[in-house]
Amino acid sequence: MLSLATIILSADPKNGGTVQLVMMGAIILVFWLFMIRPQAKKAKEQKNFIDNMQKGDKIVTIAGIHGTINKINEDNTLQLEVSPGSYLKIEKSSISMEWTIAINKPAAEKK
């Protein structure tokens, strides 16, 4: 059975453009499968996570600030209660999905 390298090396020089075009297409396909598609999927999950947040949810920001959502504003911000009576206004995009899921997982398992 011939390997891909053997086929490429034994290709007729007149048809070299076709082989290069096929190889370029394969490289682009691999790049899309392993780089672009997973990032797009993760971005979609992050957007759904942020859109489904509600008042009273416990969250962690990307800076490591822990708190509870007190109010969700229309301008892509929310009011975060970090201690009783102490509030921060933060952007929704600054919420870490991974850390928030991690701190809420033990609470869900106890129920």
pLDDT at residue 27 is higher than 80 = yes
pLDDT at residue 2 is higher than 90 = no
Domains in the chain, number? 2
Q: Are residues 90 and 66 in the same domain?
A: yes
pLDDT in tens, 44-59: 999 999 999 999 999 9
Bigger pLDDT: 45 vs 6: 45
Q: Are residues 62 and 95 in the same domain?
A: yes
Read off the amino acid at residue 95.
I
Domain limits for position 42:
4-47
pLDDT in tens, 65-90: 999 999 999 899 999 999 999 999 99
CATH of the domain at 92: 2.30.30
50 burial level (CB within 10 Å; 0-12, 13-18, 19+): middle
**32 phi and psi angles, rounded to 5 deg:** -65, -45
Q: Are residues 32 and 62 in the same domain?
A: no
- pLDDT tier at 21, thresholds 50, 70, 90: confident
Query: What is the C-alpha separation between 56 and 66, in angstroms, rounded?
Result: 13
Q: In the beta sheet, which residues pair with residue 72?
A: 78
